[in-house]
Amino acid sequence: MKIAKFGGSSVADAQQILKVVEIVKADPARRLVVVSAPGKRFSGDIKVTDLLIALANAVIAGRPYDDELSVVVGRYAEIQQALGLDTAIVQEIEADLRERIKNRSSNPAQFADTVKASGEDNNAKIIAKVFVNQGVPARYVDPKEAGMLLSDDFGNAQVLPESFENLATLKDQKDIVIFPGFFGYTRQGHVATFPRGGSDITGAILAAAVKAEVYENFTDVDSVFALDPRVLPGAPAIKLLTYREMRELSYAGFGVFHDEAIIPAVRAKIPICIKNTNCPAAPGTMIVAERKYEHGEITGIASADGFSTISLSKYMMNRELGFGRRLLQILEEEQLSFEHVPSGIDNMSVVLRSAPFTPEKEAHVLNRLQTELGVDDVTIEHGMSLVMIVGEGMRYAVGIAAKACAALANAGVNIEMINQGSSEISIMFGVKEVDRKQAIQALGHALLKVDK
Ligand code: ASP
């Protein structure tokens, strides 16, 4: 049995939904279909989830909300008309939304979740009808009825362990199951949603629950590329990668998945296949627990901006017991999560994401570090990019760092930090943001043999 999850752009309008029907029909193993809310139909379009958030905000603020409501209903009406479905379905959707608003909770986050969840819920209902109209026996399954139980962290809910056993029974459904992504119910029976993009989580949970042979994640790209083709055209597609490689690549900016989204599938060792709704014949990219690899082979090169470095120096630091602990303690108290801590004899640097630093926060943290750690010098520098070279084949391979460093040197890129060791399958470089593009291109030429 396969789980087929279709993201927002794959179910954005009637034409896309018909492609979904054809894809599911083409493989009898595709028995469980998870769908998102209608996404963007063209660049600049607005996702239904965002329209629903605007609607919920208007209601919470006590403003008139008829305009927001009619835009949402209009999106479904277009789908209904284009597919010649009964108009009653649009009336039901409007009534459903008004009902959710009428019975609203006084907790704004809880209420917003109820409204947001309607995007996937109503889309799943429509899509189940389209399947039936096209002669494919299918049925919408309510996450409540199926036992998708979540914690009550509204907008950021986590799956509860008993859900897996509950959902395992979906295996025995005779018709194809159309299951809405993104939400479930708390033990008290309230709607709760995962974080944004959470339909991927629903798919991964179902895949683990029914022990699927594969979790197919349909989106709008043919495959994952070894390097961002916008930065270096000609980068090869990745056919196969491991969960570990994907995790390292997505850490440094590969937008494949929200890596937390697929934890249930990773834990259950379910292979994940990324495929294109608009080109289902393309093989896509497969993500697996283990794979064979060539010695020295590089799988991908990723990069991300937005990092800062705090550099501390103190004479005789290496002899001072507890320095690192006190430093990290201060960062913890300041709610700053650290990414890397390269260190020397009398120096230590901490690489963090730049986003939490306001000028006030920066001054406050530097002052604490200076006074509480008694350092000789402490500075902070912003504007760093992390560049990661990733590949299972890098284990025990000699000379990759040398080749990478030579390529960066030839391109005139200064390496501010290098980190190899903790993970055997990646090398990380810190470079200035202004040098990032050049760094990636140089590494792509040297290590992935992309010419041009
Ligand atoms: N519709 C939700 C969102 O836009 C969830 C999803 O599509 O995965 O975040």
Instruction: Give the Cα-Cα-Cα angle 369, 371, 372 (nearest 5 degrees).
Output: 65
Is 430 close to ligand 1, i.e. is its CB under 6 Å away?
Answer: no
**pLDDT over 90 at 419, yes or no:** no
Pocket residue to mutate for ligand 1, from 40, 183, 196, most atoms within 8 A of Cβ = 196
Q: What are phi and psi of 185, to 5 degrees?
A: -130, 145
Q: Pick one of 3.40.50.720, 3.40.50.300, 3.30.420.40, 3.40.1160.10 as the CATH number of 2-220.
A: 3.40.1160.10
Instruction: Please report, rounded to a whole number, the percentage of residues in the chain having pLDDT higher than 90.
Output: 89
**pLDDT over 90 at 46, yes or no:** yes
Nearest atom within ligand 1 for CA of residue 197: 8
Question: Residue 252: its pLDDT value, please?
Answer: 79
Is 180 close to ligand 1, i.e. is its CB under 6 Å away?
Answer: no
Residue 197's DSSP bridge partners are none
Binning the chain into helix, strand and coil, the percentages to the nearest 5 are 40, 20, 35
* Rounded CA separation 116/349 (Å): 42
The model's pLDDT over 284-312, given as tens digits with 9 standing for 90+, comes to: 999 999 999 999 999 999 999 999 999 99
Q: How many CB atoms lie within 10 A of CB 236?
A: 16
452 band by pLDDT with thresholds 50, 70 and 90: low
- The CATH architecture to which 300-447 belongs is 2-Layer Sandwich (3.30)
Check if the beta carbon of residue 170 is closer than 8 Å to that of residue 206.
yes
DSSP reduced 3-state for 226: coil
* C-alpha dist (Å) from residue 316 to 45, 187, 320, 343: 58, 56, 7, 13
Looking at 90-94, 125-129, 294-298, which range is the least confident one? 294-298
* 370 CA from centroid of ligand 1 (Å): 44
Nearest atom within ligand 1 for CA of residue 182: 5
Question: Residue 258: its pLDDT value, please?
Answer: 74
The model's pLDDT over 236-256, given as tens digits with 9 standing for 90+, comes to: 999 999 999 998 888 877 776
Residue-averaged pLDDT of the chain: 95
The model's pLDDT over 16-41, given as tens digits with 9 standing for 90+, comes to: 999 999 999 999 999 999 999 999 99
Give residue for tokens 């993201």: 7
1 contact partners, CB below 8 Å, separation of at least 6: 29, 31, 32, 171, 210, 212, 213
- Ligand 1 atom 6 nearest Cα: 197
- Ligand 1 atom 5 nearest Cα: 197
420 band by pLDDT with thresholds 50, 70 and 90: confident
**pLDDT over 80 at 257, yes or no:** no
Domain boundaries, the chain: 2-220, 300-447
DSSP reduced 3-state for 252: coil
The model's pLDDT over 368-398, given as tens digits with 9 standing for 90+, comes to: 999 999 999 999 999 999 999 999 999 888 8
The model's pLDDT over 192-218, given as tens digits with 9 standing for 90+, comes to: 999 999 999 999 999 999 999 999 999
Pocket residue to mutate for ligand 1, from 5, 49, 202, most atoms within 8 A of Cβ = 49
